[in-house]
Structure 1
């Protein structure tokens, strides 16, 4: 597997924001700033993360919100190297989150052309690549299509941009998860653009223990790819986490240009481990930032996906469909891509999968970043494998 592809004053505002971010870095698994007063504005949640960091599970939790739209990996055609085609990807992201779907297919054709990905036809068969993995968006599109054009014969695929725009503009919450953008800093222009459009936008920066990311890749690629996985963690994943941590530090200390995202209190950094093991409370905190209660449908979705018991899994298998297939795989312990999971297993299993030599290599180069994010470094294999010793702070 090739992982590489894969101003009162501004100073005062930065000082206040800095306190909030520093409190996160030192103490809390979840950081957030002051509330917005415009409760009725359309909200946008951008989940910024890296691959194999639990973003699919996290995105689907929030996507369960009624009257929401979930754009799953809308920058997919441009490949995994977030350093390439930055302006094109960010322009496309602004367009989609502005509910403008004009000429999107042309952008996707270009993206597949420059990235070399070979699944363009399959991805684009729905009309837009991000719709295939979003069941809620598909259902909302079909209902809107049937209401607007009751005489139309087919409200399926390929989707039409005008109908999709109607769905998007009439949704109270837009959610997207992106792994093809490298940093929070790169999202500043997108944030300011959406702010001018009166959209209440938040950036949820989802981080995960690099050693756990290594474990996830091992499960997919196999132990024969250990060296390549280690190199990918050190050269790509570690670098991106360091870039973002350093950027936040510079903003807090006033060593760089001001950040609208931080200054407005719209930055949330959250460890996947905290979200996976305390999902309802973490989701409730995010909705509290929105000045909303946790929707009952989101709470139900979480209960169905976490700590599933054997009876629930067997019922899911019997009912069939995507959830049934995921349940079957989970029962077999083979579900690397699924979003139904045992949280405590998922955050600790790296400790029995990743060889200690690889763990040492990651800690030697990325230890400072891991510690700033609240992760514990292990000095020996025995402590690493002792699950009673926590691998991250609370």
Structure 2
């Protein structure tokens, strides 16, 4: 009898433990999936067919996020690191035209004009971008504009919650579809964008890319490869775009508000080339091929101009993806066809459709020999590192059949 009573007590304990364990499993499933599967509550104004479309559109992104978790597949985040007037707008289009990529054009623009303030803050903002924590960026933008005293009317970052909205046509098409499928009928899907939905798009994309000009020191990106995100959740890639400093400075002198002008050219050239050299040497010593966990690729703007399709394929191969047909078609339309077109090329400083000869040799037509010699004097070390050829006289400067950027 005592034995029977002991057995009965033991079974009661086991049964109670199973009940607790079952409840814990149910609670864990609710918590785990609550951040990827939101409740869809149809409003009274919606028809059954509208509700079906809402659910279908809303779950598209969420299925991708769940599938990536189940496969333990890392999201890929590409940082396009460069200096202004280096051809980054064209490079960024190689990702903007990819329908499977979440791409942002200069999301750190509010930190513009100087490298001396908010250094850590801009790095923190980049980390939020990498994590798709987009709602908190509005506060970062407001703070940056207060400190830098820069006017937001140019990019409308705070106004639209996204900088340079006109540069995001492919992304905005996807956003509007998702917004219309998520929002009640009385909620507008116009500007400013809903950053929570943008975060959903970001998290649901296997590949994200950000064009970054406002971080001046490439060593600030060390956190990409050192923290737990790189080890567990995100695979980071850095594409370092460089360009002939003579071309960079010539282009900057065409901008009305840039500090580069005839009087300041020597000083600005020294600052630019010191930064270029420091970043290159850091990458060569810290992120060389011996460090297999670091995804770093250096690309010259001149090589993109001469061999756009090959370089684009090489970039996608570097990040472990196949270049989409949409990107190849865009290159065909904006570069290759442009060479045989009788139409005048775009004059905008941010144009992506130009004749290659104009892009490669424009600085030779605009700068005087003295200006070129001043730049070369202050940039000789970095020009040697990047395999750019110096000129010594007017005939060499003006002879556009002579390439000054031989292949490395």
Normalised by the length of structure 1, the TM-score is 0.78
4+ residue stretches of structure 1 with deviation over 6 A?
310-313
User: Which of 350, 355, 371 is the matching residue for 1:342?
Assistant: 355
The 1-side partners of 2:387 and 2:339 are apart by: 33
Alpha-carbon distance in structure 1 between the residues aligned to 2:290 and 2:130 = 16
* Residue 329 of structure 2: aligned partner: 300
- 1:225 aligns with 261
Q: Work out the CA distance in 2 between the residues paired with 1:374 and 1:269.
A: 13
User: Which stretch shifts more, 67-76 or 242-251?
Assistant: 242-251
- In structure 1, which of residues 47, 62, 71 is the aligned counterpart of residue 95 of structure 2? 62
User: How far did 1:310 drift?
Assistant: 8.6
Aligned residue in 2 for 1:210: 245
In structure 1, stretches of 5+ residues that fail to align are: 1-37, 253-258, 315-330
Q: Secondary structure at the match of 2:157?
A: helix
CA separation in 2, counterparts of 1:261 and 1:43? 21
- 1:93 counterpart residue number: 126
Q: Do 1:280 and 1:299's aligned partners in 2 also have CA atoms closer than 8 Å?
A: yes
- Give the deviation of 1:196 after TM superposition: 3.7
Q: Partner of 2:368 in structure 1?
A: 355
Number of aligned residue pairs: 334
Q: C-alpha offsets along residues 39-78 of structure 1, whole Å, 9 cap, x if unaligned?
A: 9432111000011111111101221112211111111112
Q: SS where residue 190 of structure 1 aligns? A: helix
Q: Distance in 2 between matches of 1:239 and 1:39?
A: 42
Match of 1:164 in 2: 198
CA change 1:336–1:261 in 2 (3 A) is farther
* Partner of residue 75, structure 2: 42
Q: Which runs of 5+ in 2 are unaligned?
A: 1-70
TM-score normalised over the length of structure 2? 0.75
* Maintained 8 Å contact 2:338/2:354: no
8 Å CA contact 2:266, 2:378 repeated in 1: no
Describe the shift of the 1:286–1:40 C-alpha distance in structure 2 as closer, same or farther (beyond 3 A): farther
- Cα displacement string for residues 6-25 of structure 1 (whole angstroms, at most 9, x for unaligned residues): xxxxxxxxxxxxxxxxxxxx
Q: RMSD over aligned Cα, in angstroms? A: 2.7
Q: Could you say which residue in structure 2 is the equivalent of 1:113? A: 146
**Contact 1:80-1:179 at 8 Å conserved across structures:** no
Q: Which string of whole-angstrom CA distances, capped at 9 and with x for unpartnered residues, describes residues 77-128 of structure 1?
A: 1222123211100011101120112332111110000011022693322123
Contact 2:109 2:163 in 1 (8 A): yes
CA distance in 1, matches of 2:223, 2:289: 9
Local SS of the residue matching 2:237:
strand
Aligned twin of 1:392: 405
Is the 8 Å Cα contact of residues 188 and 260 (structure 1) preserved in structure 2?
no
- 1:155-183 per-position Cα deviation (integer Å, ceiling 9, x unaligned): 12111222111111111211111111112
Query: Counterpart of 2:179?
Result: 145
Q: For residues 1-394 of structure 1, what are the structure 2 equivalents within 5 Å?
A: 40-119=73-152, 122-129=156-163, 131-149=165-183, 151-193=185-227, 194-221=229-256, 225-235=261-271, 237-251=272-286, 262-309=291-338, 331=344, 334-394=347-407
CA distance in 1, matches of 2:130, 2:165: 14
* Cα offset, 1:151, TM superposition: 2.7
Higher relative contact order, structure no. (Cα contacts within 8 Å, ≥ 6 residues apart): 1
Alignment CA distance shift 1:200-1:313 (3 Å): farther
